[in-house]
Amino acid sequence: MRRRIADVAIKMFVEEGYEKVSIRNIADKIEYSPATIYLYFKDKDRLLYEVQTEAFHKLTDHFRDKITDKDPFKRLEQLAMAYIGFAWENPELYDLMFIIKAPMNAIPEEERWEGGDGSYLALLDLVNECVEKKVIKYTDPNLAAMSMWAFAHGLISLQLRGRCLKATSYTVEDLPQVIEKAAREFLNNMKA
């Protein structure tokens, strides 16, 4: 039943957008009462967190498919492009993975961030290798990993929230290429 609810929820978030989906909508779709959902999920934040975890599995799969090169720096490039590509293809999922506050409220102070941790560690491991082999300028892997993440996230979230189009002179057709170009430039600048 938990599965059933989570499956429908993730589908509805993707199709209709997070903001337009309510507990009642989900309950209607699975033809149960809204109260039933609360037997399986403490509250909406907790359900969102479950959906987020699912989404991170999707991202992990996406990474597995796209990160294939032997050279660690090339792999770093592939990771960056895969991250951006995922966001572009799944904007609604990206939203609740990285932008919306709600699902994070469901994680108690001390607990691990199930989904996010895994993906971040994939990046950190790779950056570690790059630092060891001196293929990037950075010497602190944590700082390098966070910087890469922040840059990619910044590009994506400014775009997803409509700030890019309004402030820059780029058009909606340009943006995908512009963002990729910016990412390439960023990677170039951190190359040893």
Partner DNA sequence: AAATATACTGAACAGTGTTTATTTTCCAAA
Partner DNA sequence: TTTGGAAAATAAACACTGTTCAGTATATTT
Q: Which positions lie near DNA, rule CB under 7 A?
A: 1, 21-25, 31-36, 38-39, 43-45
Smallest distance from a copy of itself to CB 143, Å: 6
Residues 103-162 that bind a copy of itself (CB under 8 A): 104, 107, 113, 116-117, 120, 137-138, 142-143, 145-147, 149-155, 157-158, 161-162
| Residue 157's binding partner out of DNA, a copy of itself, none, with CB under 5 to 8 Å set by partner kind | a copy of itself
Applying CB under 8 A, among 35, 108, 167, 173 the residue interacting with a copy of itself is 167
User: Which CB sits closer to DNA, 106 or 131?
Assistant: 106
Chain centre distance of CA 48: 14
Residues near a copy of itself (CB under 8 A), total: 43
User: Which CB sits closer to a copy of itself, 8 or 126?
Assistant: 126
Per-residue buried b or exposed e for 157-181, using 16+ beta carbons within 10 Å of the residue's own CB: bbbbeeebeeeeeeeeeebeebbbe
CB neighbour class for 21 (10 Å; exposed up to 12, middle 13-18, buried from 19): buried
Smallest distance from a copy of itself to CB 105, Å: 8
- Partner residues linked to 191 by β-bridges: 136
Place of tokens 């199930």: 114
- Partner residues linked to 136 by β-bridges: 191
User: Which CB sits closer to a copy of itself, 5 or 59?
Assistant: 59
CA distance 23 to 5: 10
Place of tokens 């961030």: 113
For residue 151, report the phi and psi dihedrals to the nearest 5 degrees.
Answer: -65, -50
| Residues in contact with a copy of itself by the rule CB under 8 A | 19, 98-101, 104, 107, 113, 116-117, 120, 137-138, 142-143, 145-147, 149-155, 157-158, 161-164, 166-170, 178, 181-182, 185-186, 189-190
